[in-house]
Structure 1
Amino acid sequence: MRISPDARSDAPGVLLVLNDVVKDMEDEFNRWYQQQHLDDRLGVSGFRRARRYRSVDGQPNYMALFDCQSIDVLASPAYHRRLANPTDWTRKVMPAFRNMQRSACRESWSIGVGIGGSAIVVQCKPIQGREDDARRFIRDKFGPGLMQSTCTVRIALWETDAAVTAAPTSEMALRGGQDSVADWVLFIECYDLGQMALALHTQILSGEGARAGLLIGSWMRYQLICERSAQREAA
């Protein structure tokens, strides 16, 4: 188990992106992601790994995760140069995005090791003034309880940094409108979505989260499409 207070500068960073795409652009959207966008992002110093997922039963239909050395990478000049200079293909595809949620996060806690073939994304937030209580509940009760399920691979808590997330970019303008932003996210990796959903439902129904300062909202189930590491690390 690893625990990182949210203020620690060495906590890993995660860029969480969820979106739908206009139906007649879906094939091109997937080609763009696989053939250009993943490598474009992984070419930025500090980006370590990218993963893509597709929804099993809800929206947004697609999810991408970019693991970074720290959240500072997502505020770095190198990354913002990429955002300020989208490729021609990016300019063509991004206007087709819909229901966009983009959150630059710190991974403040995790338990377990590895990558699951499936994931449940739980949107949540702490009651104002009870952030430490909510973190303790996740660390001491909620997380260990879910780890009792044999299908659980790893659980992480991601806390959004609003300032880093909200920085205006050329790519944001291409998408049109305003991206939505998560508060906190519990990212639960597993290999059996049905079993994991049942365990999660049981934990939520107990009502202990609200009493401990954590408000749990919607959750979505996703299946892994692919995983790719930065070439400099793979080498």
Structure 2
Amino acid sequence: MGLAGEGVLAIWNGIAAAAEPDFLSWHVREHIPERVAVPGFVRGRRYVAVRGEPKYFNFYEAETPAVLASPAYLARLDDPSEWTKRVVRHFRDTSRTACAVVYSKGEGDGAFVATLRLATEVLPSAFLGRVTGNLDALRERDGVVGVHLLRGEAGSGGGATAEKALRGEPDRTAAWILLVEATGPEPLEAILAADIDTVLGGTEAACPPADRGIYRLQYALGRDQLSGPSLRR
């Protein structure tokens, strides 16, 4: 068992300090329920930084990567609510990547996750072949409950949408994303402190310190937990 679908939308964002209380309320009361209600979305989660930037990490599990470019989802992006308009214009340093899940192993969910945005010149098939053994070894570390490797989809920045325009600056994207879930931050600190060649030896992957972080789970919502249509403000 691993992630709940074959697609993931991975988002990091900061938020202007004055807008943060509104963001936290909007995200739980409207935004995540609205996204999870889109056909093909399975679950949404929000995390807050223990270390690293930006402050918030969010990801949505979807049945397939195609869901993240589906007409139903794009229609939602082009019709932001008034509350969304008020909040999203205060986003800062946003990184947003639609991904295919290429490796996912684990049992249950961890309270903490390490996020590593990776870059490599190695072709995807060769990179996956080199990295699998290292990911299996990560999964066996004490305290680690899940390891997931995501490949950024070509063009995952997406086209112009009304919601993207609210953010004002282009979203960054990642070629590869490694997520390591754990019961506490200690095993993740050890992973982030190591040279990336130690963690993913022989894969020719790069991950500068600015692209590594540890985040604590704040909220998660599965599609089967929705009580009804989300309220919009």
Instruction: Please give the root-mean-square deviation of Cα atoms over the aligned residues, in Å.
Output: 2.1
Deviations 1:76-124, CA, capped at 9 Å, x for gaps: 1100110010000001111100000110000111122221100000111
Deviations 1:164-186 (A, max 9, x none): 43222110001101011111000
* Corresponding residue to 1:87 among 81, 96, 113: 81
The question of 1:148 aligning with 2:140 is answered yes
Amino acid at match of 2:169: G
- The amino acid across from 2:96 in the alignment is R
What pairs up with 1:1-235 in 2 under 5 angstroms?
12-128=6-122, 130-140=123-133, 142-202=134-194, 204-206=196-198, 209=201, 211-217=202-208, 218-231=211-224
Q: Deviations over 1:43-68 (max 9, x none)?
A: 11000000000001221001111100
The answer to whether the 8 A contact 1:133-1:213 is kept is: no
Where do 5+ consecutive residues of structure 1 fail to align? 3-10
Q: Percent identity?
A: 28
TM-score between both structures, scaled by the size of structure 2: 0.89
CA distance in 2, matches of 1:183, 1:95: 26
Q: TM-score, normalised by structure 1?
A: 0.88
For residue 124 of structure 1, give the secondary structure of its aligned residue in structure 2: strand
User: What 5-or-longer segments of structure 2 have no aligned partner?
Assistant: 229-233
Report how many aligned residue pairs link the two structures. Answer: 224
Secondary structure, in 3 states, of the residue corresponding to 1:223? strand
Q: How far did residue 207 of structure 1 move?
A: 7.7
Specify the SS of the correspondent of 1:56. strand
